[in-house]
Amino acid sequence: MEKENTLTVAVLGAGNIGSAMARGLAGSGHTVHLYNRGAARLESFGSMPGVVPTQSLEDALRGADLSLICVEGHAVMPLIGAMGRFLESQSVVVGSCAAAISTDELSEALGRFVSQPKVFRLLPNIAATAGKSANLLCAKGIGNSDLSVLQDIFECTGTTLIVEERLFPAAMALSSCGIAYAMRYVRATMSAGVQMGLSPAVAEAITAGVLDGTAALLASGKHPEELIDAVTTPGGLTIRGLNAMEAAGFTPSVIAGLTAAAKV
């Protein structure tokens, strides 16, 4: 794989994540063979440039530089079994978006069909459907240069971070589970806004704008506390709110939720 080249990617599964990956990859110039057993989920891709929808697994894999499995965890191994007779290249690259399937398991399953399996795990979150995912990436049997290429490829659906596989549970708590926690913060903010007289729609719009602006400020590279200090004046309203939240257990509750999700 070369960074400057476009690739042919077999995306196997056209659910929410598979569809998001197909759109992102095609939008960044790659050719996508999008496979799904049922036709209904493929219909919307029929006229999309760069996407070749198919109900044939053989056709999806033919000529693919890499394959990305986007089915539920229990269906990954049966799908790899079905892929086996079509995997002729010893340097085949196969990845999975299933949260619970390790690279060791992927490598062992593919090793029944090819002698040098190259595997990776790519764990997006649901924000991939909006092109704003926090993707987690690790690999086995893949060199650093090709891993860097994979990282660049999947930036099309959001920020992609290379993370040691042993740290995936912690990273998933922040990325995948984190969407729900952020949404709970949004819901709490909306409730407070309504209590203070704002309509739910206005409170939601304000909160969404604040979150968008916060993400942009974080991209500047400044530490969160530095940014907090920039909007916190002595004796002001912000410090009163922050202190009230901390007194109610804001930081400990966030840490407790994340570590519970990661089982750390």
Structure token digits, residue 13:
């599964």
Instruction: Quickly tell me which residue has 């990845």 as its tokens.
Output: 95
The strand pairing partners of 96, in sequence order, are: 69, 121
Q: Along the chain (264 residues), what's the average pLDDT of each consecutive run of 10 residues?
A: 78 96 95 96 91 96 95 96 83 91 96 92 94 96 94 95 96 94 96 98 97 94 94 95 96 95 82
pLDDT score for 116:
85
Which pLDDT value is given to residue 92? 79
pLDDT at residue 89, as a whole number: 66
pTM above 0.85, yes or no: yes
DSSP state string for the chain: --TTS--EEEEE--SHHHHHHHHHHHHTT-EEEEE-SSSGGGGGGTT-TTEEEES-HHHHHTT-SEEEE-S-HHHHHHHHHHHGGG---TT-EEEE--TT--HHHHHHHHTTT-SS-EEEEEE--GGGGGT-EEEEEEEES--HHHHHHHHHHHGGGEEEEE--GGGHHHHHHHHHHHHHHHHHHHHHHHHHHHHTT--HHHHHHHHHHHHHHHHHHHTTT--HHHHHHHT--TTSHHHHHHHHHHHTTHHHHHHHHHHHHHT-
Q: How far apart are CA 172 and CA 179, in angstroms?
A: 10
Q: What is the pLDDT of residue 264?
A: 61
Predicted local confidence at residue 3, as pLDDT: 56
Predicted local confidence at residue 4, as pLDDT: 57
